[in-house]
Structure formats: C-alpha cells, structure tokens
Structure 1
Amino acid sequence: MSTFYKYAEILDAANGVPTPEVLAEIIADHMDMNTRTAENYGRYKQEKEHTPILTREFEGEAAKKINNKLSNDYFGEIVDTKVGYMFGMPVGIQYDKDAPGYATAIKAIERFRKINNLDDLNAEWCKFSSISGYDAGLCYIDKEGKERVMRIDPWEAIVISKTTFTEPEYGLVYYPTWEENKVCVEFYNAKTKYIFEGADFSNLILNTEKTKPHMFNYCPLFGIPNNEELQGDGDKVFTLIDGFDRAMSDMNSEIEQFRLAYMIFIGYEPDEETLALMMRTGALYIPTSEDGEKIEWLTKDLNPAYIDSHLDRLEALIQRFAKHINFTDAAFGSQITGPAMRYKLFALETKSKYFERKHEAAMLYMFKVIGSAWQTKGFPFDYAMIDCIYTRNIPANLLDEAQTATALSAIASKRTALSVVSVINDVDEELRRMEDEKEIYGELDLDNLNTIPNKDNPENAGGDLDD
C-alpha cells in the first residue's frame, strides 16, 4: 500500500520502536516508488538517461541513417503551468479571530512563514508532487530553538499511516551519506528520532548517540500527495509525449537524410568519378545513344498536412489527458468574458482543486506538529482554527469583477460582494479599512474628489488633495 499500512501495525506492536530488519523490509518495499519518482524527476529535468527519445538508437542498416533526437518538454510545461497557476499568488493563512490567543498565534504563524520561506516551499511541494506523485516535508527544531520545516525528496521519504498519506503515524528518510560505502536512515515516531547507519540498508546499526527526542508530539515527517493514487501529472501521457517526440524526430531526420529527392539513372550506370564530378560541378554529361538513357529527379511527397494533423492530434491528447491548458492559444490574448475564461480553464482548475485539498490537509497536519511545540512554550494554539486561502494566478478583468460586485451588493451582503474582487485578498481586512476610512473621512463625495470631508468639522472641506 502507498501508506504502508502493514508496517504501521508492526511498529504499533513494538511500541513504535523500529528494528534494523523491519527498516530493511520497508525500504525494500519502497524501491519501486524510489525508482519511479526519481525517473520522473530526471525526465522533468530532461536528463538524457530518463528521456526515451534521447536514448533511442537504431540497429543494423538503420543505424547508418540520421537519428535526430528532438525532445519536446511537454512534461515540464504541464508541471510549471500548474505551479504558477496555483502558487504564483502566495497561499493565505488565516486564524480564527475568535479563538483564544489570536494575537499571539497570528504573530507566531507569520514569523514561521517568513523564517521558513513558506511561499517558496509551497511552490516546490507542488512541483515535486506534480512530478513524482507526492512530496514530503519534515518539521524540526533548529540550533536557535526555532520551529522549522524543510522538504524531503520523495525517493528518500516513506510515510507510514493507517489512515491517509497526510496523517502519518511513522516516517523515515533513507539516503547514502557523503562517506563512501555508508548509508543512513532517520526514523520518526511521535516522540523520537532514531538514527541507523550501516554499509547498506540491509545491514543497519542503531546510533544511540544521535538518537534523541525531536521535540514534537506527532510524527514530524509528513506527505504532500498529488492525488490519492500518488500519480504524477505526466504519468498518463508519457506515451503520448514519446509518440510526439518520435514523430517529430523522424520527420526531421527524413528531411535531413534524403534532401527531399533522389536522382535516378534509367538505363545508365554512372561510375564514381562521374558522380564526384557531378557533385562538384552540379552538371552531368551523358553521350547520346539509342538505348534510351534517362536521368531525372524522384521527389518525395512528405505530405506536411498529414504530418501536421498527426502532431496536432497528439498535442491535443496530451493537453486533454494531462488536464493542461495551452496559454499560447490566441484566445487568451483576446478579451474573453469571465465565464468563457472559466470554461477554458475548467480542466486545469479541476486538477488544481484536487491538489489544493491534499495540500491543505498537509498544511493543517504541519501546523498540528508545529503547534505542539508552541503549546509546550505556553501559548494556546489550535491548528483547526487555521484556514488556507488559495488564489489562482490568472490575469484579472477588474472591470468585470467590479461590475459583478456592484450588482451583487444589491442582493447580497457587502462581504459576499467584495469576495468576488480578486485584488482583495482578505475581505475582513478590507471591511475594516472601509470602516476606518468612513470614520476618518466620512462618506466621500465621488462627484468632487478634489476635497476630503473632515469628520471633526463637516463644513471644512479639509483642503485640496494636492496639498
């Protein structure tokens, strides 16, 4: 199972304390995922050994032909577009204003966000989850005693849970060290970080000096799944991308190899000297005879319309099954209405919304872990009081939004009307500002913006704005 359910039960029976044998078995079971996730990342980077078209070779007589290898980075575009669409605008983190200790909690959250550069982490988590099917995060206490979080490569992280990928009971990180012929395994339960070392993962020894409490009340290693199946965004379309690469490479080789035409000799066999002279001078002399010698060009009809149609069909299928949007489409450069834009973005939005829910679950678990350290320091914190606000990174039609908000204000609350305006990230904060401005300036005279009413003396215009 992706959540390694059986190992959670084995570890529960041992009070959460691992043995080298159990760790070796867990790592052996994870090797298929290790290989797949690392290969997907290699393909994202367009590394030769992980991109099929770049390793294609012909055998026999075909090996003498030109073998162009044109790799089209559809996978990178699919991933990067999703990351930019979802996390180009930072995720907002709100805390319930009515919760006890609100002021302290919001300061702690903002400090944690800045110290850990959480906006960048979120983008990287989305990128690696989209590439490999999942990514991982690890909470820890740094040397200054601050709560920190870092991302862990998916091919090195194993999440063990009896419930869901975002609610781990146990977790481990395994990797080769900088020392030659030495590997390390970090195992985490709800209280302790265990360090095992050895020559390989089947011969591990517990390092008691490095084993110590991790200072949280929950397993600090957690997963960020792309979906429940732990599939990357390219897994279902790799064969289509490979087909596109082969078709384009073969077409390019055909053009380069044969120069679009053959010269044919009918009833006449030129010798090597004649061919060399022809290639040098561009002319060929054939003496007249009654045998009917004939020289002409045999041109090749490559039928570009058919080839373009085939490539267009492959590209459309890649976009369809990867739920990807081609933003170079001419329609995105024109003025299209809000509903039309939403229809064009529907596939990408569907995929993004699914990951958004997984990401939010992982964020809540992260704050559950971090919050346990804050609670130990003595201030109240409830991770369930957190809301994550996701804003899509798309060009906004502010005029359309403003008109919609104005129309809504006639039949709905001001809060609801303001929520449709994309430049307003925090509706509560905007309402507060509106109230503050009303107290300071009164109701603005929209017909005469050269003056500002004075709330202390309404008859005094307050002077010219330019002053």
Structure 2
Amino acid sequence: MAIIRDRDLIKDWNDIPIDLIKSCIQEHQKSIPRLDLLENYYMGKHAILSRSMGSDTGLPNNKLIANHAKYITDIAVGYVAGDPVKYDGKQVDEILEVYKQGDIVSHDAELAKDLSIFGVGRELYFTTSNDSPIPKATAIDPRQIFLVVDDTVEYKSLFGVHYYPKRDLSNAVIGYSVNVYTEKYVIKYNVKDLNGQGYDVADRIPHYFDGVPVVEFWNNEEQQGDFEQQISLIDAYNLLMSDRLNDKEQLVDAILMLKGGISIGDDEEEAGRTIRMLKKYKVLELPADGDASWLIKNLNEADVEVLRNAIREDIHQFAMVPNLTDENFAANASGVAMKYKLLGLEQLAKNKERYFVQGLRERLKLFANVLRVKGRAVDVSDVTITMTRNLPANDLETAQMISTLSGSVSTETLITQLSFVDDPAKEMERLNAEKDVDMKRQQKAFGMPINQDVTVDAE
C-alpha cells in the first residue's frame, strides 16, 4: 500500500527532507512481515512446518504441505496474464517498439505474479546507459520499494524510494543504498543505518520522465493477495493431512495387549529375547484363558475424506480459482456450462484487469514523456488496452461463428476472435494485399488492364 503524506508539508517535492524519507521507510518496514508471510506460503513454507509434538511423547509428527497458495497464484496469473497485453492506437507503435526491446511481455508476467502473491506490485522505470538510451521497466520486490502519494482523492505521486542492503565480500551487510525518485531527479544516498542521521548524498541525476518513475499496481481494492484470505483453510488442510498420516503410522506401531496373566519375561533382557523369538517364528503360546490382540485406534476414513474434500472445496470456492483436476470439472463440455464453472475465476480476472490497466496507462504516459524529450512525439490518449484470457481455444467453433456473422460484423472485428492472430490490423493488411494480388491476376487472365482504373460499360 502506498504511503500517504500531505502535499503541503514541503514546497519543493524535488528536494525531500531526510526526516521525511526516514519516517516513510519506517512506515514501510512495518508492512514487511505480512509480505514475508505471503511469500513463505507461496514457496511452501507453511505454519505446519513449525509444529512440535514434543520429543518425549514418541508420537509421529508428519508435516505435509499441500501448496494451494502456489496453485491459486499460478492459475490466476496464467489465466489473466498468460497472453501478452495488446495495445491499439494511432501513435502507439513507437512505444510498442520500445516495449519489444525491453521484453515487456516477460516483465508483465513477473509483475502479475507479484500482484497475486503480495496484493501489490511496484515497477521502476529507468533509461539504458548506452549510446541510444531507451526507457525500460523493472519489477522490484515490494519489500524494497514504496511509493508516497498525497492525501487527495487522486492519490497523486509525490516520490518513490528504493532501498536495499550493501554487502562486502563475505556477504555481510555494511550499509544501505537509498534511491529517492522525484518528478525530476534520482537522488542517491549511502547510509550506514536506515534510522540514523548519516544520509550522505552520493549523486543527483535528472531522469526526464516528467513524473515519479515509480508506479504501484493493485491486485484489488483491498490490496490483498489471491490466497491471503485462504491461509487459515490451507493450514487446516495441511493439519488434517498430517494427522491423517500420523494416525496411519500409529496404526502400524500398534501395542500388543496380552490378557490372562501372560508374561513375556521377568526383566527387560528376557522380554527382549521373547519378542525377538516371536518376530522370528511368528508363534505365541497362550494359556487356556489367555488372549492377545492389538491395541489400535479406530480410524473413520470416510469422515476424514468428507472433511478433506469440504476444506479443499472451500479453498477453491473462496479463492474463486477452480480445481482444474477435478474429474467433474469438464464432465459437461458445452461452452455455456464451462463459462458457468469459470464464472468465479472470470470475476476475479475482471477485478484484477481493471486495476492492472490503470497501472499500464501510467506506464504509457511516462514512456511517452521520455520519447517526447528525444523528439519522438507520442500521443497515448487514444490507446486501447486489451487483456486476453489464456484459455484453450476452440478455433473450429470460432470459425463457424465468423462464417455466420460475415457481412453483419466488420472483418477486423471477426479476425480479433481468432486465437492464432496476434495483430488483427496487420492481418487485415495481409488480407487486403492478397485480395489485390488475386484481383490483378484475374484482370490479367481476362485481358483487362492492370494498375489502371477499369471502366465497365454497364450497357
């Protein structure tokens, strides 16, 4: 979540007081434990791993992890950001060329993953240091960067801070680099202690983005991760599966109960010899009133399975990410039925898309500002941003729909429905070029003039 400050605190937001920078860093660090927890769950480091049964109990202590957190994130990210974002506008080609050079497709996928895990994603913009510098974007771990905005309803950016530890040859922390990004400058500090007074300015560099080159993306209005509200259910599922295996082990290690005054030995050595003989020969001699049986715990697997399925279904239901491995998921393969089964995921995707597009528009504006400085004027006001769902495509069904709608809907609109067409505009150009070639070929075959206007006598 962005840090909020009053714009009237200082007059020049290109010269940030050190005390303000320190207070914002301290506020940001309070959010880091939550982000650490979310990353741990995605990486499979769940609460069950810290469970202790006590070494003196002798009971099994299995720690099973069913990583629903990773599953939810991977499916949600693949569904929403698996296909590249498409941009359409009159002057957007310049920016698209820059995006291509910076491999923005891979960057968007990385950013979408941060959004799904942490609930926020923050990207930093910079220009390359070669002979022909171009703007580029990089996704920074939200635990190392934050954005400060004003307290108006628009939440306009005031400045951004990227800080990270500096290490020596033995990898020990010897200080911190603190980079402050204002609307005009990048101010770099070398710091021994983030909470200390020794903020020494190392450099002050103009960046030409004509705005704070840090943009914060939201996953949703609450800025929560896709699996954050399901952590308690994930813990319950891990606990149930771990205890289920514990019960199985205790069943194997059952206690032999002897009745009728039976003794296997007067001391530990004699008892041990008797047990070894029983294991070797598999024979136990008992008196007439004697009895031997295993003392075991009765397991009700049916009840445990019902509980397991209920918890698993709740995880997927509340996360709005379906269980794609469920044998009943694709039992009815009709298009309408599949849409109903994906309705929750689609609602999740719509919400994620709305906030993601807002961040993409900020990125377009900042990139256009840099290109304008280089004399390449770009207008991004009319750019249309389209995010396509990453689903298996039924091209045969789509082709039949296109054939039915031909003449009622424009050809370019119909072409956009095809999954194997990345750029509908270019595809239209190729289609028109082929039609021109075919027309000239037919004109030549009938002896009609080529490259001239053909006048047909209707009479």
Q: Same fold (TM over 0.5)?
A: yes
TM-score class, shorter-chain normalisation, is: 0.7 to 0.9
Aligned residue pairs total 433
Match of 1:455 in 2: 442
Match of 2:103 in 1: 117
Query: Using the alignment, how far apart are the partners of 1:419 and 1:429 within structure 2?
Result: 11
* 1:1-150 pair list within 5 angstroms: 2-6=1-5, 8-10=7-9, 12-47=10-45, 51-59=46-54, 61-62=56-57, 64-94=58-88, 96-97=89-90, 102=91, 105-106=92-93, 108-144=94-130, 145-150=133-138
What is the deviation of 1:61? 4.8
1:238 paired to 2:231: yes
Query: Share of identical aligned residues, percent?
Result: 26
What is the deviation of 1:170? 1.5
What are the superposed Cα offsets for residues 90-141 of structure 1, whole Å, 9 maximum, x if unpaired? 11222x22xxxx3xx51x3233222221111000001111101111111111
The one-letter code matched in structure 1 to 2:65 is: S
RMSD across aligned C-alpha pairs, in angstroms? 2.4
What are the superposed Cα offsets for residues 341-365 of structure 1, whole Å, 9 maximum, x if unpaired? 2211111111112111211111111
Match of 1:190 in 2: 183
Query: Using the alignment, how far apart are the partners of 1:253 and 1:315 within structure 2?
Result: 20
The one-letter code matched in structure 1 to 2:281 is: T
What is the deviation of 1:459? 4.5
Match of 2:313 in 1: 316
1:155 paired to 2:152: no
Query: Using the alignment, how far apart are the partners of 2:27 and 2:222 within structure 1?
Result: 17
Query: Using the alignment, how far apart are the partners of 2:413 and 2:244 within structure 1?
Result: 55
Query: Using the alignment, how far apart are the partners of 1:314 and 1:165 within structure 2?
Result: 41
| Match of residue 249, structure 1, among 233, 242, 256 | 242
SS at match of 1:366: helix
| Match of residue 385, structure 1, among 382, 385, 390 | 382
1:281 paired to 2:281: yes
Query: Is the contact between residue 64 and residue 242 of structure 2 (CA under 8 Å) also seen in structure 1?
Result: yes
Bigger shift: residues 33-42 or 326-335 = 326-335
Query: Is the contact between residue 194 and residue 206 of structure 1 (CA under 8 Å) also seen in structure 2?
Result: no
| Match of residue 211, structure 2, among 218, 232, 236 | 218
Extract unaligned runs of 5+ from structure 1: 443-452, 461-467
Query: Using the alignment, how far apart are the partners of 2:82 and 2:443 within structure 1?
Result: 44
What is the deviation of 1:300? 3.8
SS at match of 1:351: helix
**TM-score (ref. length: structure 2):** 0.87
What is the deviation of 1:270? 3.2
SS at match of 2:399: helix
1:258 paired to 2:255: no
What is the deviation of 1:240? 0.4
Extract unaligned runs of 5+ from structure 2: 266-270, 448-459
Q: 1:398 to 1:331 in 2, by over 3 A?
A: farther
What are the superposed Cα offsets for residues 406-434 of structure 1, whole Å, 9 maximum, x if unpaired? 23335444344444333334433333333
Query: Using the alignment, how far apart are the partners of 2:176 and 2:280 within structure 1?
Result: 64
| Match of residue 359, structure 1, among 338, 356, 360 | 356
**TM-score (ref. length: structure 1):** 0.86
Query: Is the contact between residue 8 and residue 170 of structure 1 (CA under 8 Å) also seen in structure 2?
Result: no
